[in-house]
Every structure is written in structure tokens, then in C-alpha cells.
Amino acid sequence: MALSIPRIRLIYLIPILIALSLAELYLANKSWRTFQVLNNARELGVSEGALLRAYMTVGELQSQFQLDSKTLELIFGSKEIAPSDTIKVIALRESRSELELIAAIQGQLANISSSAGSIAEQSLLTKLSDYLFDLMSQYGLIILVLVVFLGSLGAPVPAGPMAAMTGVFAFSGGLSALPTALAILFGSVAGDMLIYSIGRRTDPARLVKVGRWVGYTEANRARLERLFQRFGNLTLLLTRSLVAHISAVASLLAGSSGISVTRFLIYTCCGRALWLLIYFGAGYLVGSDFTMASSFLSYLSLLLIALAATISLIYFYFKKA
């Protein structure tokens, strides 16, 4: 028996939407501010600088970041600072922005780090990043296009993680962001179009045998047919982005079901662009150190949840109406 969602009354809906809107404004502001702190810390190469917050006191800065009183007086431009003063209080007193003071502290941390000259042991992720970067330096973007192309064909290759890693390289200046993003998009769309063409030209009776190597089974076919019946062509968008691991199966089914080339190409490009935004964008904006980006990701996740709740409430209200 299907669950019936009761219709919410307009008198209750409006206050809820107002509260959600205020929460979204707050979370958007916090997301932007934490991203600014994260971005500056990444540019300076000081991961601990991403932990700085306006509510931190002078005493916490001294104990957590080993900054002495003279250094902090120089950063804040004032000798009248107490251990209980927060960055926010000092910013108001000195008529400076909180982000400006945090950036100054990050700059000092970068100076201390560079003067120390310590070399940390490379992590496995760093070694993998260096290996991938060496491959792309040697063979160019062709290695990236090949991996993404094979991923679109259903091959068990790390297309998503590699796209994220190239986003990290692009941020650091090792790769040009726009040509790299376009290369990833081209490789993924080309793979989708090839699978679609195979499905279009293969007899449906032989499709299971031909598509076995990309995971095309009767069970997967039935599952995707239900998705097509429920969401229509939007299924193509979803299987290019959020559930990209079954994109090859969906492409075969789309080709065999007679979906036009133009329609398939439009949905494929849009879906792959979203996939690119998720992986390459995450690497470019966040980087490979998710601990460093934890605050930004937390606020961003809450913001997306609040937006989804707002859209869902409006959708169900008008659907019931």
C-alpha cells in the first residue's frame, strides 16, 4: 500500500518556508566564508590555516598555532589584546574584516612553515597524485580522455576519482582548468555515444549477449526500464551524473529503444556536465584534503539539504492542490 502524504495547510507552509529561507541565507553566508578561508589556506599551502575561525580567542591561537604575543600584535596592529579576545571582537575594534585578519594569520603560518623547512612523509594519496600527474605530463590529456572514455564504456577504471584529482592539479596550476574540463567532457560523451550506437544497431534479441561485458543483464534492463517509465528521459540525465556507474547499460537501452540521437546527445551532455561539476569541481574547489575542507563541506551539505526541503515542500503542496 502506497504511503499518502497529507497536504500541508498554507498557514503552516509559509512560516516553514520563511524559516528555511533564513536558514539558507545563513548557511550560504557560512559556506562562502569558510570557502574563502579554505581557498586561501590551499593557496598558501598551510592546511592548519583552514581551521581558523572568527570565534577563536587569542589564547587559542597561541596554544593551537604556537603564535606568540608579539606576532599576534603585529598581525592585529594593536598591543591591546587579551587572551580572551576573539578574532571577531578584534576585527570590530580595529575596523577590519574578520576574513582580512584570518588571511593575515594564515600568511604568518605560511611564513613559519616555509622557514621551518620540514618535509613530511608523503601519503599514499600524494604518491598516487604524483604518479597520475607524471602520466599526464608524459602523455598529455590523452591519458585522461582515454580513462574517462573507457569509464563511459563500462570498464572498471577510476574515471571519477581521476577527474577529481585533475581538478586538484588544475587548482594548483599544474593543468589549465578549461581545456582539462572540456577534455573530460569530450571523453565521457564520446564513450556514451559509442555505446548508444551499438545499442541502436544491435538486434534487441542479441543485446543481452552483446552488452554482457558492460553489465547489461535482464535484471538491469528491467530496472532501467522502470526508471524510464517513471522519470522518462530524465533517466538519461541521472545515469550520466548521480548514478553514472550504470551509464553504459542505460546507453545501450536508450539506443535499442529508439530514442533519437539529438535527444540522447542533449541529455548526455547535460548529465556529463553535472558529473564533471561533481568530480572535477570537487577537486578544484575542495582539494584532496577533506579534513581540511570539513567545515566548508558541512555548511554546504546543510545548505543543499535545506534547499531540497524547500523544493520538496513546494512541490508536494502544489501536487496535492
Sign of CA dihedral 154, 124, 112, 33: positive
Q: Are 185 and 166 in contact (CB under 8 A)?
A: no
Of 3-7, 64-68, 91-95, 146-150, which gets the smallest average pLDDT? 3-7
What is the per-residue burial (b if ≥16 Cβ within 10 Å, else e) of 1-11? eeeeeeeeeee
What's the confidence (pLDDT) of residue 221? Answer: 73
Look at residues 195, 179, 104, 102 and name the one whose alpha carbon lies nearest to residue 144: 179
Residue 321 in this model has a pLDDT that exceeds 50: yes
Q: Please compute the mean of the pLDDT values over residues 278-295 and round it to a whole number.
A: 74
Residue 96 in this model has a pLDDT that exceeds 60: yes
* pLDDT band, residue 233 (cuts 50/70/90): confident
Of 76-80, 182-186, 202-206, which gets the smallest average pLDDT? 202-206
What's the confidence (pLDDT) of residue 120? Answer: 44
Residue 133 in this model has a pLDDT that exceeds 80: no
Residue 78 in this model has a pLDDT that exceeds 80: no
Residue 218 in this model has a pLDDT that exceeds 80: no
* pLDDT band, residue 230 (cuts 50/70/90): confident
Q: Tens of pLDDT along 150-188?
A: 888 888 777 887 888 788 778 777 778 888 899 999 999
Residue 8 in this model has a pLDDT that exceeds 90: no
CA distance 143 to 162: 10
Q: Write down the domain spans for the chain.
A: 10-116, 124-289
Residue 23 in this model has a pLDDT that exceeds 90: yes
pTM (predicted TM-score): 0.63
Q: Are 185 and 145 in contact (CB under 8 A)?
A: no
Q: What are phi and psi of 57, to 5 degrees?
A: -90, 165
Residue 122 in this model has a pLDDT that exceeds 50: no
Of 30-39, 51-60, 156-165, 184-193, which gets the smallest average pLDDT? 156-165
CA distance 219 to 11: 46
When the pLDDT of each residue in the chain is averaged and rounded to a whole number, the result is: 81
Q: Tens of pLDDT along 244-284?
A: 777 888 888 888 878 889 999 999 999 999 889 888 887 88
* pLDDT band, residue 288 (cuts 50/70/90): low
What's the confidence (pLDDT) of residue 35? Answer: 87
Of 37-46, 98-107, 110-119, 234-243, which gets the smallest average pLDDT? 110-119
Grid cell digits, residue 202: 544491435
DSSP assignment string, 223-247: HHHHHHHHHTTHHHHHHHTTTGGGH
Element (H, E) at 64: helix 58-65
Number of neighbours of residue 142 by Cβ within 10 angstroms:
11
Look at residues 225, 220, 200, 196 and name the one whose alpha carbon lies nearest to residue 208: 220
Q: Please compute the mean of the pLDDT values over residues 131-154 and round it to a whole number.
A: 80
CA distance 204 to 200: 9
CA angle 180, 297, 45 (to 5 degrees): 65
Grid cell digits, residue 184: 573530460
